Structure 1
Amino acid sequence: MSTKIPHGYRLADGTNVDAFLARLPAIMDPIHDLLDARVLAETTLFGLDHLDYRDRARPEAPLQHFAEAWATEQREMSTSYRMQDPQRFELHHGTDPRNGRELVILSVEDDLYRDAFAALPEVEPLSYWNNSDRPKGVSAAQWTGRRDAWLRTVPKTGLGQEMSIWRLRPDFIPAVLALAGQPASPLLVGEAPSLERRADRLSQDVYLTWLVKQSGAIRSEIFRLVGLAFRADRTPLIEAIADALTPASTDLLRDGAGDHRLAAFKDRQDELCLAVYDAAEDDD
């Protein structure tokens, strides 16, 4: 059976687990706040860009509008889906019966959490997998010791299922909605995606729509075209869109204020899409 624990750790001997967990919010809450701001800024700006491209009116309070839509989507999303609570900090922990040491499996999506957790003085790496070579710097004896520690702690290898679960914010939605009511927070503009990233996101839809229109694709061909749109070098499109978008600002997030030049871009989009397509054909 394949065993993969890429984010496994062990707490130092003698660590009081309850006290250790009680310290975590002071360390991880600021990261959670930053990631909340990032997801809210991204959701709002991506949404505004698509509205602008389609010549649709911006909502009067964009942050509130898109935060509420995001919250509804999150509530309806299965907890088994990776994008449900993407800012989560969760860990599974259990005690090695041989030595009383506490083993931890970290379940997070962002490296900011991993780096902060791994830097704690009580924490040592204990990742393990048996489907590829051990990492450099870990001896064969140490690798076997890691395997044995996990097998003792989780003997049925239903990793995480027999361990206690600790979650930083079990109810994560209220904090995002509260942040939406603070449009002047410097975190929001600070964590806003770049114009290039916003343009890259919009360019995928623009180019895919163009491909579908040009090919007259039937439903069964859409997935193939999605792949083409995702893999294509869309640099001409991205540069033109980035130049036409409204830069992120408190006014844009709070009131939807700010001009864009996407109408001028749309006058050139067929030409730019054709250039992307021709370049892809030449590469093939």
Structure 2
Amino acid sequence: MSTKIYNGFRLAEGTDLTAFKHEVRSIIDPLRDQEDLKLLAATLAKRVDERWLAGEPILPGAVETAYSEWVDAQSKMSVYDYAYDLNRFELSIGTDPGSGRSMVIARVENRVLLDAFEEMPEVEEYGYWNNTDSYPEGVTRGDWEKREAAWDRMLPGFGRISATMDTWTLRDTVEMRDELHSLDGPGAARILALTPVSEDRATNTGQDAYADYLHQEQGVAPMRAVQHVAFGRGESIRTVIDTIASYLPVLTKELLTEGSGATVLDPGYRDAVRAACASLYETDKTELARNGQ
């Protein structure tokens, strides 16, 4: 049977679990706030830009709208969905009956949170897997066999974790504290600081615009157009991205609070993007023709 405990850890001898959990919370909680705000800032920018580039005005209360949409989307997901609670932090903790040491399995997808946990002085990487002969750097075969024995004692027959370990969860909800997602509170400056820059906001739109141009105006097969942009061109469609970025609004507290009123996207936007795509195509058409459009 294949055994994979990639995020396995062992705590230092004599670690007081109550004090340890308090320390974990004091370190991870602020980082979780930061990573959650990154998600909110990205969602906010995406929603604002979608309306703006569609020629619609930005409505008042954009942050709360983006937050409500994010919470609603999370509520409709299964806990098994990839995008559900991307910043979760859960630890299964048990005692190795042989050594008396505390063993930990971390369920953490965000590397920022996991790295911070691993850097704690009480925490020792102690994973184990039997599907490969590749050991972590500095671990000998003898060390590996000791790990196998420890996890076999902790999880007899490598059975269900819940049978021998208790699970500790940093938070029991994906919702953020109210003061963090309000532009009237201390979260305002942090949200604005974490909002993606205009070039990053325009990247996906630029890729889509150029692929659409290749298909609609130059007759390139849809899949070929997408492959060319994603793998042949990638980030080098900078001229299109920069053109789109120049038309995006600056996300200020005033704009996100009060909206744009009657102000909407510059009517010259579509012609400018088309011109950028046409210019880029002039450098690409030989390669596209060679490989067959």
Which residue is 1:147 aligned to? 148
Q: Deviations over 1:24-73 (max 9, x none)?
A: 22211111111122111111111111111111222211001111111110
Question: TM-score when scaled to structure 1?
Answer: 0.84
Does the 8 Å contact 2:203/2:241 carry over to 1?
yes
Does the 8 Å contact 1:6/1:127 carry over to 2?
yes
Which residue is 2:50 aligned to? 50
Q: Distance in 1 between matches of 2:249 and 2:71?
A: 25
1:11-50 to 2 correspondences below 5 Å: 11-50=11-50
Q: What code does the residue aligned with 1:279 have?
A: D
1:121-270 to 2 correspondences below 5 Å: 121-132=121-132, 133-157=134-158, 160-162=161-163, 163-175=165-177, 178-183=179-184, 185-210=188-213, 213-214=216-217, 229-231=229-231, 232-233=233-234, 234-257=237-260, 263-270=267-274
User: CA shift at 1:263, angstroms?
Assistant: 4.1
Q: Structure 1 pair 143/205, CA: closer, same or farther in 2 (3 Å)?
A: same
Q: Which moved more, 1:15-24 or 1:120-129?
A: 15-24
Q: Structure 1 pair 39/97, CA: closer, same or farther in 2 (3 Å)?
A: same
Secondary structure in 2 matching 1:93: strand
Q: What code does the residue aligned with 1:103 have?
A: M
Question: TM-score when scaled to structure 2?
Answer: 0.82
Matched, 1:97 2:97: yes
In structure 2, the gaps of 5 or more residues are none
Q: Whose Rg is larger?
A: 2
Secondary structure in 2 matching 1:172: coil
User: CA shift at 1:261, angstroms?
Assistant: 6.0
In structure 1, the gaps of 5 or more residues are none
Secondary structure in 2 matching 1:244: coil
Does the 8 Å contact 1:58/1:256 carry over to 2?
yes
Q: Structure 1 pair 255/22, CA: closer, same or farther in 2 (3 Å)?
A: same
Q: What code does the residue aligned with 1:282 have?
A: E
Q: Distance in 1 between matches of 2:267 and 2:12?
A: 60
Which residue is 1:282 aligned to? 287
Q: CA RMSD in A?
A: 3.0
Q: What code does the residue aligned with 2:124 have?
A: E
Secondary structure in 1 matching 2:105: strand
